[in-house]
Amino acid sequence: MHNRIDKQIDELVGAFIDPILVVPGGWGDTLPDWIKSQITLERLAQQMKVLKGEKPTGTDAEACAYLYTASLTAPMDHDWTEIYLYVAGKMAARGKNAQIPDDIKVDSLRDDQMRDLQELKDWIYQRRLKHRQERRRVEKAQALAEAEAKAPEQLKLGV
């Protein structure tokens, strides 16, 4: 029971502090603020779904941010462009910060495109989890090193 609660707390904290994954190339700094806040909100909503038994995964907003930077880094093929326009359209429908013109709006995806989108979201989640585990490992190592450095002082050994 204790381990499950620790994991839930870890996931909840991760919703706020996990990095937003972007395609390397320098475009991550251009993400609009509204999508950053939408990512946090969707991560929290996803965590509520996980508590109800759903499999943890990345969110539409995270996929949108990743594909946004991908589209600025290199041309995307037709399927990924449609996937990007689909998730961007979902983001636009949820907020008032962006609009997708009707002539490029994508309301639905084929099964193979939905599978690709889900695989991307699963990959994003796994990368977030890996980053969180690595950050935790580094923090533990730093705490241990600091504790060892202070040990003689704490014991008043004067070493």
Domain assignment present for residue 158? The answer is: no
Render pLDDT for 66-105 as a digit per residue (tens, 0 to 9).
Answer: 999 999 999 999 999 999 999 999 988 877 666 788 899 9
Give the Å distances, CA to CA, from 141 to 18, 19, 122, 138, 147. Answer: 19, 21, 29, 5, 10
Tell me how far apart the alpha carbons of residues 80 and 70 are, in angstroms, rounded to a whole number. 10
Give the Å distances, CA to CA, from 148 to 7, 41, 49, 93, 152. Answer: 28, 40, 42, 54, 8
Q: Whole-number mean pLDDT of the chain?
A: 89
Domain assignment present for residue 15? The answer is: yes
Domain assignment present for residue 156? The answer is: no
Contact 115, 122 (CB under 8 A): no
Amino acid identity of 64? C
Asked if pLDDT for residue 159 goes beyond 60, the answer is: no
Query: How many domains does one find in the chain?
Result: 1
The tokens for 62 are 């995270």
The tokens for 80 are 């990924």
10: confidence class by pLDDT, cuts 50, 70, 90: confident
Domain assignment present for residue 143? The answer is: yes
Eight-state DSSP code of residue 30:
G
Tell me how far apart the alpha carbons of residues 22 and 7 are, in angstroms, rounded to a whole number. 25
Domain assignment present for residue 100? The answer is: yes
Render pLDDT for 31-64 as a digit per residue (tens, 0 to 9).
Answer: 988 899 999 999 999 999 998 999 999 999 999 9
Asked if pLDDT for residue 155 goes beyond 70, the answer is: no
Domain assignment present for residue 138? The answer is: yes
141: confidence class by pLDDT, cuts 50, 70, 90: confident
Who contacts 90 (Cβ-Cβ below 8 Å, separation ≥6)?
Answer: 60, 64
Domain assignment present for residue 9? The answer is: yes
Q: Is 4 exposed, middle or buried (0-12, 13-18, 19+ CB in 10 A)?
A: exposed
Domain assignment present for residue 159? The answer is: no
* Model pTM score: 0.84
Enclosing domain of residue 52: 2-151
